[in-house]
Structure 1
Amino acid sequence: MNINPFKTILPFLVLFLVYSCGENKPKNKTDESTTVLTAKAYKGTASVTQGIATTLLEDIYECDRGRKTDVGEITSTDGKKWTVPAETNYTNENFPFAIDLYNACEGKNYNTAQEAMSHYSDLDIVEIDSDGEVFTAYIFADNYFEMYVNGKPVGKDKVPFTQFNSSIVKFKVHRPFTIAMKLVDWEEHLGIGCEENRGKPFHAGDGGMVAVIKNKKEETIAITNKDWKAQTFYTAPIIDLNCTSEDGGYRYSKNCNTDGGKDGSKFYALHWQIPEGWMHTNFDDSDWQDASTYTNEVIGVDNKPSYTNFTTLFDDPNKDAQFIWTTNVILDNEVLVRHTVE
C-alpha cells in the first residue's frame, strides 16, 4: 500500500501550528495586560507610557560630535499621544533663534561675552513694547530652551542636544515683565528619558538651566534662583511607578531609581498635559513648586567652555546665578519655569 507522506505529517503540522499560535498570542496579551494593570495601580495624575517611542523625525539638528536629535511619539495607556522628548517650536520659522554666546557646532567659540556681543545686530532685538527698555539674557541650558517674555517668543536654543552651547537673547519691554521658559533634557532613547553614557546603554540624563538678565547699563537685574517657579511635565525613566508621589500641584520622583541599566525597553514614563497660556503674564503658577537650585558640580559644567568661558558672567560673586530645575534634575525631562522681573 502506498502511504502519502504529507497525510502522515499533516496532523503533527496542524498540532504544531496550533501550539505555536497558542503560545504567542497569550504572551502578547499578557504583556499588554500587565502594562495596563500596572498603570491602573499608579495613583498619580499623569498619563503612563512604557517602552520606546516611534521615531517621527530624525536629526532636526546635526553637529559634529553631537548626539542624535530625533523626535518621536508614544501612546499612553489612556489612549493619548505624546511627543517626546517634548513638543517644541524648533522647526517653527516664526519662533526666533537665540544668538550664540558659544556654539562649537558652528564655530562660534567665543572667549568672552563682549566678543560674542560684537557679532550681535540690533535687528535681532525682539520688540514687545516699542518704547520699552532693552534687556539682554545670557543663558546656558542643558539641553534646550524656548523663552517667552510676556507671552511673546523671544528666543530658542540653536542646539537641541550637544555639543553644549550657550545663548544670548535681547528684547525690548516695559518693567515689570514675565519670563517663561520651556526646558528640555533631550534623549537618545525616545520615550524613556535615556541616553548611552557612563558604560550604560540606558543611562538617565540630567538637565539644568542658568540665566542672567542685564539692562542697557550692563547692570544685572535678574538671575535664576529659588525665586523662580518650576513644574515638570515629563518624568522618565521610571522603573517602579510606586516611587512617585504628588502633593497638590507638586510632583515628586525623589524616591525613584536613577541608575538606568542595560535594557530600558520596559521603563515607564509619566506625562502631564501642558496648560494653555502657561507663558502669559496672567497665568496662575501659584501651585507650582519653587525652583530647586543646583551647584555647578552637580550639573557638571566645569569642563564645558560654553559655560567656563563666561564664569565672570554666570558666577558673579555679587549676583551669582544658580542652576535651576524641578526637584529631580535627573528624571524630570520637560520642565516649565516662570519668573516676574519687577
Structure 2
Amino acid sequence: MKKLSLLILITVLTFSCGNKKSKSESEPENITQVNPAENYSGTASITQGIATTITEDIYTCDRGRKTDVGEISSTDGKTWIVPAKTHYLNNDFPFATDLHNSCEGLNYDTAEEALANFNAANTITIDNDGETYTAYIFADNYFEMYVNGEPVGKDKVPFTQFNSSVVKFKVKKPFTIAMKLVDWEEHLGVGCEENRGKSFHAGDGGLVAVIKDAQNNIVSSTNDTWKAQTFYTAPIEDLSCVSEEGNYRYSKNCSTEGGQDGANFYALHWETPTDWMATDFDDSNWPNATTFTNKTIGVDNKPAYTNFTSIFDDPEQDAKFIWSTNVILDNEVLLRYTVE
C-alpha cells in the first residue's frame, strides 16, 4: 500500500512539474518595446549600427585610410549606400586634375607649377563658344562637380591623404555649379573613424573652392550665398536631438563625442533628387551654406591647402570653407550656386 501511495505521489508531482511553464514561456508581461522612430519626427529614414561592406578599397594610398563602401537597411525597408552613392568607379565621370596629391607623388608647391602640367585635353567643353574657367578645390574629403548638369570633375582621393584639385571647363554665363560632398568614414554606416583615442570618433567635412576666368579674375568663391543641403547625418546617439524646420535639417543639439562602440549609433538618410545637379532644379528652399574658419576645418598643417593660400585666401576675395549646418555630423552634402 505504501509503495502504491508513493507511486501515485511521484506521478502527480511529475505531471505538475511537466506542465508548469517557465517565466519565459508564460504569458508575456507588459514590457515596452522601444521603437527608435518614436523619438524622431522628421522625414529621414533611420538606420542603426554598422553597415555591410560591399566594396573594399576603391582607392589605396600610403598612410591613407581605408576607402570602403557599404550597404545598410533602414527601419522603413529602404537600402542605403554609405558613406554615399558616388561615381568614383564610373569611368564616364572624369577625374579632376591634381593641384596637390601626395598619394600620387604630385606635391606641387604652386598653382603655376600644377597648371604647367595640366593636360588641355582634360578641359570639359559644355559650350563650344563659351569661356574657359578654372576651379581650384580643396575638399575634406571627396567631391563630384557638375556644371549645368554635366560632370566636369571628381576627386582622385576619396579619403586621405588630403589633396587638392584643378577642374577646367568651357561654358557660357550664366552657369550653375552643383557639387556632391562626402565626408568618408572608416566605420561604414555611422560616420565614424578612429581618432583621438576613440574607435568611433565623428569625422568632419569642409570644402573651399575658387573659380577664375581666362584672365585670372575670380568669378566666384565659396561663401554663405551658396546653397547646401544635407542627406546623411551620423552618428546620432539620441534621435530626439535632431529637428527639422521646413527643409532645414538640424543636428546642432546632438552629441559629437563618439565612443568605443558604434553598434547602437543611429544614422539619418534622405533620398537625393535625381535632377539635383540640373540647371533648372529649384533649390530656393534649400538652406544657405554655413561658413567655417580654416582653424575649425584644420588645414593649417596641410600642404594641399597651405601651398595655395594665395588662391584660397585671396586678400580681396577670401574663399570660405562651407558645409551644411553641422560640419561634424553631416556626411553627405549637396551644394549649388549660379555664376551670373
1:22-47 Cα distance to aligned partner (Å, 9 max, x none): 69xx9xxx99x54xx12233100000
Question: Which of 168, 192, 195 is the aligned partner of 1:194?
Answer: 192
Q: Which residue of 2 aligns with 1:245?
A: 243
The two structures have a TM-score, normalised by structure 2, of 0.91
1:138-171 Cα distance to aligned partner (Å, 9 max, x none): 0000000000000000000000000000000000
Find the aligned partners of 1:77 and 1:121 in 2 and give their Cα distance: 48
* Matching residue's letter, 1:110: Y
Q: Which residue of 2 aligns with 1:7?
A: none
Q: Which residue of 1 aligns with 2:289?
A: 291
From the two aligned structures, give the one with the greater helix fraction: 1
Find the aligned partners of 2:36 and 2:319 in 1 and give their Cα distance: 41
Find the aligned partners of 2:307 and 2:163 in 1 and give their Cα distance: 11
- RMSD in angstroms over aligned alpha carbons? 1.8
Alignment map for 1:1-342 (pairs within 5 Å):
34=34, 37-342=35-340
Identity, % of aligned pairs? 70
* Matching residue's letter, 2:90: N
* Matching residue's letter, 2:337: H
List runs of 5+ in structure 2 lacking aligned partners.
1-13
Find the aligned partners of 2:106 and 2:303 in 1 and give their Cα distance: 11
Rg: which structure is higher? Answer: 2
After TM superposition, what 4+ stretches of structure 1 lie above 6 angstroms from structure 2? none
Q: Which residue of 1 aligns with 2:6?
A: none
Find the aligned partners of 2:120 and 2:160 in 1 and give their Cα distance: 28
Q: Which residue of 1 aligns with 2:9?
A: none
Shift in Å, 1:328: 0.3
Find the aligned partners of 2:270 and 2:52 in 1 and give their Cα distance: 19
The two structures have a TM-score, normalised by structure 1, of 0.90
Find the aligned partners of 1:192 and 1:40 in 2 and give their Cα distance: 20
Find the aligned partners of 1:215 and 1:40 in 2 and give their Cα distance: 52
Find the aligned partners of 1:242 and 1:203 in 2 and give their Cα distance: 20
* Matching residue's letter, 2:138: F
Find the aligned partners of 1:67 and 1:277 in 2 and give their Cα distance: 32
Find the aligned partners of 1:55 and 1:277 in 2 and give their Cα distance: 28
Q: How many residues align?
A: 318
SS, match of residue 282 in structure 1: coil
Find the aligned partners of 2:37 and 2:69 in 1 and give their Cα distance: 24
Shift in Å, 1:104: 0.1
Shift in Å, 1:81: 0.1
Find the aligned partners of 2:181 and 2:93 in 1 and give their Cα distance: 15
SS, match of residue 290 in structure 1: coil
Find the aligned partners of 1:276 and 1:102 in 2 and give their Cα distance: 32
Find the aligned partners of 1:118 and 1:286 in 2 and give their Cα distance: 39
Q: Which residue of 1 aligns with 2:8?
A: none
Q: Which residue of 2 aligns with 1:6?
A: none
Find the aligned partners of 1:39 and 1:61 in 2 and give their Cα distance: 36
Find the aligned partners of 1:120 and 1:162 in 2 and give their Cα distance: 22
